[in-house]
A and B are shown apart, each in its own frame.
Chain A
Amino acid sequence: MITTILIWLPIAAAIVVWALPLSRYATGSLAVLVSLAEVGIWIEQAFRFDFSKHGLQFAQRGGWISDLHVSYHVGVYGFSLWLVGLTVISMAACTAYGFWVGRDRPRAYFGLMLFLTGATVGVFVAQDLLLFYAFFEAMLIPLYVLVGVWGGPGRLGATIKFFIYTAAGSLLMLAALIAYGLHAGTFDLVDGGPSVSRWIFLGFMLAFVIKAPLFPFHGWLPDTYREAPPEVTAVLSGVIAKAGTYGMLRIAITKLPDPTSYYRTLILALAAAALVYGSLLAFRAADLRGVVAYSSLAQSGLIALGLFSGTNLGFDGAVLQMVAHGLVSTSLFLLAGTIERRTTTDQFALLGGMAKGRPALATLLMTCGIISLAVPGSANFAGEFLILAGAFQRAWWWAAIGAGAIVLAAMYMLRAISAVLHEARGSVVTEDALDLRLGELSLIVPLVAGLLLLSAWPAGVSHHSFVGDRPVQTIKGQFK
């Protein structure tokens, strides 16, 4: 029941917001309250979750299409619990950011943000393929409008690219899931047995590698991340991208073990390519959002590297990295948004010297940047270390490529930080551009606090994602 509430509470709130003629202030407050309530419900769920128990928890099942054995089946596992947490926390911060900056057409805007929250939670808890697909597609709808209406000047082109890319992937997933479900005799993710079809695997994987994205399916990423409003970009890279890597773990690797090992080298190669190529592009990017966007591409590659290494360490690290990168990139994009609000741009050529007189901004940006470049002791370091160790167990050269890319991460992140905070004062940076306000601090500081907590105790996530911390065994048993 609590899982169902997590999905439908924000969607119900969205309908309320759309239907009632509330004022701007009331709409925003309601949206923020509901998204905070989501966080509260999730915390309640996390406390009640039994990490030593096998199988699905907080499960609920209802009929949907009985003759094809499609059902409304939701529930959480250890790793999905963390991803749901990431979703509700990031969405709360981003909704609050939208309230703080006062987006136009508030009822439409907040309704869509709430709808997006519900749909994204749905992706991470759905235990039926059609239900998963429905939520996976449903995420697209609000995103399309959020980017298209509240985005920058090039938004129309960006939305078309974004939508066509992601829909192409997910429609082929529809064909794959029909094939899988009719062969298995059920669309249920828990009951359905493994399949050996390579076509089905490719159908699913195409959707996930576009969503994640991995090289060379990232064509939609730069435009969309630049044109979307900052808080929507934060959601896209922090949360939505994780739906792709989550799908790899929950469906592709779990339900299609044979094709997974058949295509393992190919996907590891794509992941390594995303990691290196993304890092290089981030190093060349001329704006802060570009750096974070391309670093997200690199991080998706790293997560996929961990997942497809197929080792205990790799899986643990991938889940930890999904959560850590989700939080850090949400914070970084929101910080980029605050900088854009003060200077109208995030071009490095025009920025610089923002640290002077703005200690809060400098501290937060510095902290997030340092965590993002995986300085030892940070959550990202723990995640990347586990992933690289897992990849090393597969073959040493994957780890070597990964380690090389992490050096690049340090370079691009430090370059970005110094271009914004240090160096000579940029032409658009005026003396009276304020430091972060209380409202902004109150939504970014909790994210960063979460990151620091995760840095202090990464095992909180990495040891509590799979029962008994034996991911390979749990996945072989298909989470039953």
Chain B
Amino acid sequence: MIHTPHVDWFSISTILALLGASFVALLGAVLVPRSARRMFGCVVAVLGFAGGLLTSIWLYVDSTNGHRVIGDAFYRDRWTALGQIIVCGIGLVTALVAAEQIAHRTDDHIAEFFSLLLACAAGMTFFIGSANLMVMFLSLEWFSIALYVMCAIDYDVEGSLEAGLKYLVIGSFGSAALLFGSALVYGSTSRIGFVEIAHVGHAHDTLLVLGLAMIITGLGFKSSAAPFHQWTPDVYQGAPTPVTAFMSAATKVAAFMLAFRVLRTAFPQDEHLWTWALAGIAIASLAVGNFAALVQRNVKRMLAYSSISHAGFLLIGLSAASALGGRAMLYYLVPYSAMAFGSFAIVGARERELNAPVTLDNLAGFGWERPFLGVAMWFFMFGFAGLPLTGGFTGKFYVFAAAYRHGWAWLVVVGVLATLVSLWYYLAVVRAMYMRTNDELRVAVAGGAPPREPLLHAAVAICMIVGVGSLFATQPVIDLARHATSALPF
């Protein structure tokens, strides 16, 4: 007889809420008349994410003593809950932006899009809480497959299809690395639970170290850290902009939060190895992301490289491997997600207005034409560069402080120099939006007034509030992060 574990249904309520909404959206694709499908999908998605937010906040409040549930396969603790809150928040704004921005020629499949979005977020929330290698891999595949399809949702646009295919091929390679690494770790320790691996594993066990290296590789692909970043610019550029916005924010949150947990929980004995490895990856990401972004003219592509460089900054916090580093990384993720999402959403608005890919040249005059979006973009760009307009400022300070306390002053200097390089391309966006005029460059606007996009404006406003709010309300966010981090073993 098969022994069925006790199921703590409440601990997976966020996932269930999102999955339930996903099924409803999918049913809508069949049962709801075509004209109402977009509306229906959006409402279902918003409700689903709101429900997910509610349950995950509840879980955060109610999970002071972190523990494993459901046959020790899943963590019910504040780390998981905070990750779920962030992912659901990103999903919510994605639903708003997608309702307007996913091309109307795909009206046939719009309900499926929302269904996939919800399923993808459900996978991510599962991924963040996974407590063993099996669940980790399954949930990784779960949200990745949804993302592959979402990237290719505009299937009659060449770039979108190409993005989906590229992501599929390279993403599968990353998943394979993760799976192989997990197999090696299991082979070395005959355990799959993170905690058990830590108990059984010996430092300097070659098989274990090899497995660890491949797990880091696999997670590196998902978090688009160099040198596992090759897919990022192409996929970010080709995918429909709301999907890019979602990916750049939510996938990073999921990948980094899981990476910190798995490394801290399962591999403390090899800490000196993986901290150095992560510092190396951080430097590679900072170098590749920043220098490649310098020469981009396409704004989506530039932001893709910028997201690689931010993976580097997050890795600085991660590589400190301390409670302070964990807090720093978590704190950084909040304004970063808001700014990344918001900036892609704004690019999406311009894209729709011009009906052409957005380049630095055809951004000219955008800031004056659409003042709210312009100011928001201004905030996001300066915030990315670590100027005191958004929480990006305190985030940078915090990760650098974590690295310094770890004894790595040189990593702080590298980070500071990388920030300096990044100023060049972030300012280029502001320069393009405000300091050149349309007449000067003869940008062809598709015609007529720009589309009214109340939902997109609302989403950008939420991102602004989170981004700027996290600068002024630093302590509350850090308190959240502190409670979440206390769920990990330090």
Please list the residues of chain A having a beta carbon within 8 angstroms of any beta carbon in chain B: 18, 63-68, 105, 130, 134-135, 137-138, 140-141, 144-145, 148-149, 155-156, 159-160, 163-164, 167-168, 171-172, 174-175, 178-179, 181-182
A141 near B400 with CB under 8 A, answer no
Residue B400 contacts which of A138, A145, A156, A178 (CB distance < 8 angstroms)?
Answer: A178
For the complex, is B125 an interface residue (Cβ under 8 Å from A)? no
**Closest B-chain residue to A169, C-beta based?**
B420
A182 near B404 with CB under 8 A, answer yes
Q: Closest CB-CB distance, A11 to chain B, in whole Å? A: 12
A164 near B435 with CB under 8 A, answer no
Interface centre among A63, A105, A182, by most B CB within 10 Å? A182
Q: What 1/0 flags go to B363-398 for Cβ under 8 Å of A?
A: 000001000000100000010001111000110111
CB-defined contacts of A175 to chain B, threshold 8 Å? 400, 409, 412-413, 416
A137 near B482 with CB under 8 A, answer no
**Closest B-chain residue to A65, C-beta based?**
B474
Residue A168 contacts which of B386, B394, B396, B420 (CB distance < 8 angstroms)?
Answer: B420
A66-B475, A67-B482, A148-B434 are known; give 12 further A-B pairs, CB within 8 A. Answer: A64-B474, A65-B474, A134-B393, A141-B387, A145-B430, A148-B430, A156-B435, A167-B423, A171-B386, A174-B416, A175-B409, A179-B412
CB-defined contacts of B208 to chain A, threshold 8 Å? none
A179 near B404 with CB under 8 A, answer yes
Q: Closest CB-CB distance, B441 to chain A, in whole Å? A: 13
A257 to B379, CA, bound (A): 38
The 9 lowest CB-CB distance pairs between A and B, nearest first, are: A134-B388, A148-B435, A171-B416, A175-B416, A138-B388, A175-B412, A178-B404, A137-B387, A178-B401
**Closest A-chain residue to B389, C-beta based?**
A141
A141 to B413, CA, bound (A): 23
**Closest A-chain residue to B324, C-beta based?**
A67
Residue A167 contacts which of B324, B405, B420, B482 (CB distance < 8 angstroms)?
Answer: B420
Interface of B is mostly: helix
A140 to B385, CA, bound (A): 12
CB-defined contacts of B475 to chain A, threshold 8 Å? 63-66
B424 near A164 with CB under 8 A, answer yes
For the complex, is B478 an interface residue (Cβ under 8 Å from A)? yes
CB-defined contacts of B412 to chain A, threshold 8 Å? 175, 178-179
B435 near A155 with CB under 8 A, answer yes
A174 near B424 with CB under 8 A, answer no
Please list the residues of chain B having a beta carbon within 8 angstroms of any beta carbon in chain A: 324, 327, 368, 375, 382, 386-389, 393-394, 396-398, 400-401, 404-405, 409, 412-413, 416-417, 419-420, 423-424, 427, 430-431, 434-435, 474-475, 478, 482
Q: Knowing A65-B474, A171-B420, A182-B401, say if A149 contacts B389 (CB, 8 Å).
A: no
- Could you show 7 A-B contacts with beta carbons less than 8 Å apart? A65-B394, A67-B478, A164-B423, A174-B396, A175-B400, A178-B397, A178-B401
CB-defined contacts of A181 to chain B, threshold 8 Å? 401
A239 to B117, CA, bound (A): 52
**Closest B-chain residue to A174, C-beta based?**
B416
A168 to B417, CA, bound (A): 8
A67 to B483, CA, bound (A): 13
Q: Closest CB-CB distance, A199 to chain B, in whole Å? A: 8
A141 near B382 with CB under 8 A, answer yes
CB-defined contacts of A135 to chain B, threshold 8 Å? 388
CB-defined contacts of A137 to chain B, threshold 8 Å? 387-388, 393
Residue A105 contacts which of B368, B398, B401, B427 (CB distance < 8 angstroms)?
Answer: B368
A145 near B434 with CB under 8 A, answer yes
A112 to B412, CA, bound (A): 32
A149 to B368, CA, bound (A): 11
Interface centre among A135, A148, A174, by most B CB within 10 Å? A174
**Closest B-chain residue to A145, C-beta based?**
B434
Residue B409 contacts which of A65, A138, A179 (CB distance < 8 angstroms)?
Answer: A179
A65 to B324, CA, bound (A): 12
CB-defined contacts of B435 to chain A, threshold 8 Å? 148-149, 155-156, 159
CB-defined contacts of A159 to chain B, threshold 8 Å? 427, 431, 435
CB-defined contacts of A63 to chain B, threshold 8 Å? 475
B387 near A140 with CB under 8 A, answer yes
CB-defined contacts of B324 to chain A, threshold 8 Å? 67
A141 to B382, CA, bound (A): 8
CB-defined contacts of A178 to chain B, threshold 8 Å? 397, 400-401, 404, 412
A438 to B328, CA, bound (A): 56
Residue A156 contacts which of B386, B398, B431, B474 (CB distance < 8 angstroms)?
Answer: B431
